[in-house]
Structure 1
Amino acid sequence: MFPFCCRCSRCCRNDYEPIGNEAQGQVFGVRHLQCLLLFCALTVAYAMRVNLSVAIVAMTDRNATRPGFEVYDWDEKTKSLILSSFFWGYIVTQIPGGQLAQRFGAKFLLLAGLSICSVLTLLIPACASIGGWKLVVAVRILEGLCQGVTFPSAHTMISKWATPEERGRLSAYVYSGSQFGTVVMLGSSGLIASSPLGWPSIFYISGIAGSIWALAWALLAASTPSRHRTITAAERVYIESSLGHVNETVQRRVTPWLSIMTSFPFFCLLIVHCAHNWGFWTLLTEMPTYMNSVLDMDIKKNALLSALPYLAMFISTFLFSGLADFLARNHYITLSTSRKLFNTIGHWIPMVVLLPLGYINRDQHETAVFLLILAVGMTSATYIGFHVNHIDLAPNHAGTLMGITNCAANVMSIIAPLTVGIIVYDETNPALWRTVFFLMSAIYFFGNLLFIVFGKTEPQPWNISPVYESINATAEPVRVIDAGHQD
């Protein structure tokens, strides 16, 4: 008998065969559509987040953009300040975002955040012209506030839609959207900046893409399976029963703040997330400058080659996800071993690769690009590592846990570019960049070591916290299509 089955005609055939079984091997269902929409959400979010990393090169270098477009005299410290300002707002809404997503549903929260961010992105060229770098910083802070809800909302959506069997794979697919958005934006920004459209179009194109996504999300997404208007009864029963939802009732639990903050496995997760963000965002925000200043690449090659490492990361996400599924399906390794193995691949291989990168000179373009591709590409393994560990530890509080760790981790995203701005007082000096790479390697090493030794994958006792509210998830009108099994 299917777990929690009520033997009614909605969820069973006449011989009591659960129709939820039909959805188990489904190639593309509504749950997959939600993950596709989340993939697109992260694509546009990262496009709007990283567009400035390449655009700022064109905005401050007359040789990198078309005549007729304004060029600004911003020094390296000012540029680092601008690049880091996004995260000042981003960290503020992480924890509230997790709480709001669990309390009111992730659909509306994500829609509001990315819609407003899209409008702000469209305004950046005008703000730079009117108010200079100070107004650009202000807009980027507001963008960060809007995007701070993205990861908590995505984690909450995944915890409601992905069954335990599909969780690792679907999570990896969703979060690969961040690499796809990075690849598209970094790969096209240089060409756009040097085209007749000029650097302002970098912001216009990404802002319009975000607006188009918002329309699709409003029409096709739902916070939970019970709230989706076109889901089949079979798929709904399969998802809700797999997740342990009984009689269409969603239980909302008190957040066990003290237990979370005193949990050592959660502390290890927080530290490894911080280590990851330091390395990842240093590479993402500073590599265009490094390749332009040290390797002497023009803006077109700079943008395209800066995108290659993230293309490798996007592709390797699917390879690592398939390998993890194969190992788990055949019971070759435990869940704990899988998380730690792939996290080690994602942190310690880049750690080793970054060390020789500091000794590359401008005559060794190919070697530098290869090392960057390898370093960044391997980090995708962390999507099957620490990135899903929030749901392992406490699926009932996944959004809140992601909000906490992402908040702390993005403090590193603020500090890292500022640290580069302090260390690299002469951006053409390879020795100064060498110090940056050595520091990144050390942080990767100690963060992952802590996760290997002390990280856990078992649900923690505080996952089952007291219920403060139970609601009928079908309180709002829902039209369920029963795929040929109507009453």
Structure 2
Amino acid sequence: MDVEFFRYQFEDGYYGVITKTGFKIGVRHIQMMYMLASAISMGFIRGSMGVAVLAVIDPTRRDDTYIKIHNWDGKIQGSVLSSFFFGYALMVLPSELFLRRFGGKLQTTVILLINGALCVAMPTIINKGGWVAACNAMLFMGMAHACFHTVNRSLFEQWMPPNERKIFSCLIYGGVQIGIITAFPVSGLLSSAPLGWELVYYSLAMLALSMAIISGTLTASSPGDHQAVGDAEKEFIKSTLINYKKKEVNRPWREILKSMRFWAVAGAHASSNAIFVFFIVHTPSYLMTYGLSLENSAWYSMFPFIAMAVTYTVMSPFIDWVYTIRYIHYIFSAGFYRKLINGLGAFGIVMGLTVLPNFPREWSCAALLVVTAILALLGFQFCGFLSTYKDMSENYCGTLMTISCTASSAVGAAVPFVAGLILGDDMSRVEGWRVIMLSLASLHMLSAVVYTTCASHERQPWDHINHHDKHRLGHYNGVIEHHQVPMEEYGHVNLGLQRHEIDTAL
């Protein structure tokens, strides 16, 4: 979940060539704008969960006559929040294996309808069914969220020429992060209205159901199904896709799951996701321990996630560019370079988590700055260890990311539940927050040590297309024309290669 806004960069291998064509505005770009709006809506729902649960138990409105305030302790809050993330973890791998081949307009509409229906029913579910019913609703909501990425990838493969996929994938999957960021202040503002937490859920329902109607009526699964797409654009999309196809591969599941190198990277991913989940659901509640109101703490909670997104967006290409400088690769090997980036980020995160719970309750600004720095360093750390998947495998890096997301989502799902058990009845107890943050710091430090000692940046022996063609690593290309780019010529840009030599050869 923590890497969903740039998970599009990790895809299994393709055959063929990428046709270089001029950029022309068409109906497919309107389709992308609808997909962006849907992504923002899903991110908005995800980012509002922590604030909505806090509003359900808002102690300042105990005597309110407009809405019912519930007496949920930390254990119940953790159970409700963890249910969403457990649902997400359950569906990451099945959706990638089975739903992708059927993904399209109908699936997107159903996902939005499920979220909208559950949100509009949530006030009744909580008031009548209690926290157990709320856990079940959140579980189904999380399962629907896990399918959203897979369905979007299927739509991309149908609609977008290969040379346009990167920019629009970045835009649309960045929409999830935009939704999370905007959800904090908006949900905090809505929670202060007379209808309080119920208004938060009704607003989420209106947003999701509106996007479901738009998706069902104005979009299509492919250009051939869209009445507004002209013949010229259909032929243009078809011509760019005909020589660019996904490899028919038999994934080496056993070899991957037995690989210690892979699990070293997955462990780093799991600890990072645990920190991400902790802050996405508990940043508002932690800031409230400094005397801030729910509305103000929700407003301030968006800044750490802005910092994380901006840091990754800026630093990822910069870090790759630094390694292309001549002679840099003589100083640092690719493996050492990745591990150096990861180690610097992990060290800063561990230091931040260690000092944060020791601040006096009057230091709210300092606490916010440290939380912002921790999330920014998390974005910086993503530039290190996650790229190891591309170094390990060109043909299966998407599969590696899917397995890693499943494992890391399961670890992240346990965080709200464990945090609730530690905090108990008193959410403002400093000792409880200290135990949680020191535990996260210890987990993160351990994963960084394991990654540094066990991770490998070499192509793995199982990175072959099939068992009868093990010598073929990388992409295969047939005859190409002058306006096409051979993928084997560029291939997978691995930091382990001497990039200036590649550039010279080209």
Aligned-residue sequence identity (percent) comes to 22
Distance in 1 of aligned mates of 2:336 and 2:163:
17
Instruction: After TM superposition, list the pairs within 5 Å mapping 1:194-343 onto structure 2.
Output: 194-215=192-213, 217=215, 219-220=218-219, 222=221, 231=233, 244-245=244-245, 251-292=247-288, 294-324=289-319, 326-327=321-322, 340=339, 343=342
Contact 1:47-1:184 within 8 A present in 2 as well = yes
Contact 2:119-2:201 within 8 A present in 1 as well = yes
Note the C-alpha offset of 1:436.
Answer: 1.4
Aligned residue in 2 for 1:439: 439
Which segment is superposed worse, 48-57 or 156-165?
156-165
Amino acid at match of 1:63: T
Which segment is superposed worse, 206-215 or 151-160?
151-160
Aligned residue in 2 for 1:484: none
Aligned residue in 1 for 2:421: 422
Which segment is superposed worse, 400-409 or 327-336?
327-336
Q: CA RMSD in A?
A: 3.8
Q: Secondary structure at the match of 2:196?
A: coil
Distance in 2 of aligned mates of 1:367 and 1:273:
27
Note the C-alpha offset of 1:227.
Answer: 8.8
Report the CA distance shift for 1:338/1:146 in structure 2 as closer, same or farther (over 3 A).
farther
Distance in 1 of aligned mates of 2:436 and 2:150:
30
Which segment is superposed worse, 366-375 or 82-91?
82-91
Distance in 1 of aligned mates of 2:123 and 2:323:
49
Contact 2:250-2:465 within 8 A present in 1 as well = no
Which segment is superposed worse, 344-353 or 356-365?
344-353
> What are the superposed Cα offsets for residues 214-254 of structure 1, whole Å, 9 maximum, x if unpaired?
4555545657x99996656566655665xx53xxxx55433
Note the C-alpha offset of 1:257.
Answer: 2.0
TM-score (norm 2): 0.74
Note the C-alpha offset of 1:400.
Answer: 4.4
Aligned residue in 2 for 1:45: 42
* Structure 2: tracts of 5 or more residues without a match: 1-14, 469-506
Contact 2:161-2:237 within 8 A present in 1 as well = no
Q: Secondary structure at the match of 2:142?
A: helix
Note the C-alpha offset of 1:92.
Answer: 1.7
Distance in 2 of aligned mates of 1:213 and 1:113:
10
Note the C-alpha offset of 1:359.
Answer: 0.6
Distance in 1 of aligned mates of 2:285 and 2:457:
38
Report the CA distance shift for 1:422/1:198 in structure 2 as closer, same or farther (over 3 A).
closer
Note the C-alpha offset of 1:172.
Answer: 5.5
Note the C-alpha offset of 1:371.
Answer: 0.6
Distance in 2 of aligned mates of 1:394 and 1:105:
26
Distance in 2 of aligned mates of 1:57 and 1:214:
27
Q: Secondary structure at the match of 2:21?
A: helix
Distance in 2 of aligned mates of 1:340 and 1:159:
33
Aligned residue in 1 for 2:56: 59
Amino acid at match of 2:362: D
> What are the superposed Cα offsets for residues 327-385 of structure 1, whole Å, 9 maximum, x if unpaired?
46767668767755554555443222222101112110110011111111332235544
Note the C-alpha offset of 1:81.
Answer: 1.1
Note the C-alpha offset of 1:105.
Answer: 4.1
Distance in 1 of aligned mates of 2:80 and 2:286:
17
Contact 1:253-1:466 within 8 A present in 2 as well = no
Distance in 2 of aligned mates of 1:394 and 1:37:
33
Amino acid at match of 1:52: M
Contact 1:31-1:162 within 8 A present in 2 as well = no
Distance in 2 of aligned mates of 1:310 and 1:463:
38
Amino acid at match of 1:299: L
Aligned residue in 2 for 1:448: 448
Distance in 2 of aligned mates of 1:345 and 1:221:
45
Contact 2:58-2:69 within 8 A present in 1 as well = yes
Which segment is superposed worse, 119-128 or 173-182?
173-182
Distance in 2 of aligned mates of 1:345 and 1:234:
46
Distance in 2 of aligned mates of 1:413 and 1:34:
33
Contact 2:88-2:146 within 8 A present in 1 as well = yes
> What are the superposed Cα offsets for residues 311-335 of structure 1, whole Å, 9 maximum, x if unpaired?
2223333322442464467676687
Aligned residue in 2 for 1:128: 126
Note the C-alpha offset of 1:98.
Answer: 1.0
Aligned residue in 2 for 1:480: none
Note the C-alpha offset of 1:203.
Answer: 1.5
Which segment is superposed worse, 194-203 or 378-387?
378-387
Distance in 1 of aligned mates of 2:53 and 2:352:
27
Amino acid at match of 1:291: L
Contact 1:120-1:143 within 8 A present in 2 as well = yes
Aligned residue in 2 for 1:13: none
Which segment is superposed worse, 151-160 or 406-415?
151-160
* Structure 1: tracts of 5 or more residues without a match: 6-17, 468-487
Amino acid at match of 2:283: M
Q: Secondary structure at the match of 1:286?
A: helix
Instruction: After TM superposition, list the pairs within 5 Å mapping 1:316-465 onto structure 2.
Output: 316-324=311-319, 326-327=321-322, 340=339, 343-344=342-343, 346-387=345-386, 390=389, 393-394=392-393, 397=396, 400-425=399-424, 426-453=426-453, 454-456=455-457, 458=459, 461-462=462-463, 464-465=465-466
Amino acid at match of 1:464: I
Distance in 2 of aligned mates of 1:455 and 1:39:
36
Contact 2:92-2:402 within 8 A present in 1 as well = yes
Aligned residues: 441
Amino acid at match of 1:285: V
Q: Secondary structure at the match of 2:416?
A: helix
Distance in 2 of aligned mates of 1:154 and 1:346:
31
Q: Secondary structure at the match of 1:149?
A: helix
> What are the superposed Cα offsets for residues 31-52 of structure 1, whole Å, 9 maximum, x if unpaired?
8777766654443223222322
Distance in 2 of aligned mates of 1:338 and 1:400:
24
Distance in 2 of aligned mates of 1:345 and 1:126:
48
Amino acid at match of 2:254: L
Distance in 2 of aligned mates of 1:396 and 1:152:
18
Which segment is superposed worse, 456-465 or 304-313?
456-465
TM-score (norm 1): 0.77
Contact 1:271-1:447 within 8 A present in 2 as well = yes
